[in-house]
């Protein structure tokens, strides 16, 4: 059997720990369960990648501001932040496992997540 490897699939997940990464892709969407808008940022380096969802709700604003600040973009009242400005930016992230109960089924699920955003 041959298994095709598409561009971007040649890397595994980043291991837990601190990494300097580049944001290489942004995808926008809406959460499946509560219809909250989000963008998913692919962050990668030579060791692997991680795709992190960032929700654009008022409760998530401190996380968003931390991400933008780490790449040198500072929010101003009355002005929008553009996700496209994140492309190509480098930052330092802390990768760890995060376990939660899936809303639809209550089943336990573990994902990789990025936290601790800092300037690279």
Reading the block at residue 109, the tokens are 């699920």
pLDDT at 8 over 70: no
Residue pair 55/44 in contact (Cβ under 8 Å)? The answer is no
**Over the stretch 23-64, which tens digit does the pLDDT of each residue have?**
999 999 998 878 999 999 999 999 999 999 999 999 999 999
Beta strands in 7-107 (DSSP E): 17-30, 37-45, 48-55, 90-101
* pLDDT tens profile 55-114: 999 999 999 999 999 999 999 989 999 999 999 999 999 999 999 888 778 889 898 999
Q: Is residue 57 part of a domain?
A: yes
Contact 68, 75 (CB under 8 A): yes
pTM for this predicted structure: 0.87
User: Is 83 strand, coil or helix?
Assistant: helix
Q: What is the distance of C-alpha 65 from the center of its chain?
A: 13
List the CATH number of the domain containing 38: 2.40.50
What distance in Å separates the CA atoms of residue 73 and residue 46, rounded to the nearest whole number? 25
Full residue range of the structural domain in which residue 32 is found: 17-119
4 found inside a domain: no
| Structural domains in the chain (count) | 1
Answer whether residue 101 is part of any domain. Answer: yes
């Amino acid at each position: 059997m041959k298994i095709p490897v598409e561009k971007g699939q040649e890397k595994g997940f980043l291991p837990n720990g601190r990494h300097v990464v580049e944001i290489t892709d942004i995808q926008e969407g809406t959460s499946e369960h509560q219809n909250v808008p989000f963008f998913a940022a692919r962050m990668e380096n030579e060791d692997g990648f991680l795709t992190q969802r960032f929700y654009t709700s008022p409760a998530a604003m401190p996380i968003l501001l931390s991400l933008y600040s780490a790449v040198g973009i500072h929010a101003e009242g009355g002005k929008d932040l553009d996700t496209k400005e994140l492309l190509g930016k480098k930052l330092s992230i802390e990768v760890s496992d995060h376990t939660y109960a899936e809303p639809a089924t209550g089943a336990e699920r573990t994902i990789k997540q990025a936290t601790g955003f800092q300037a690279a």
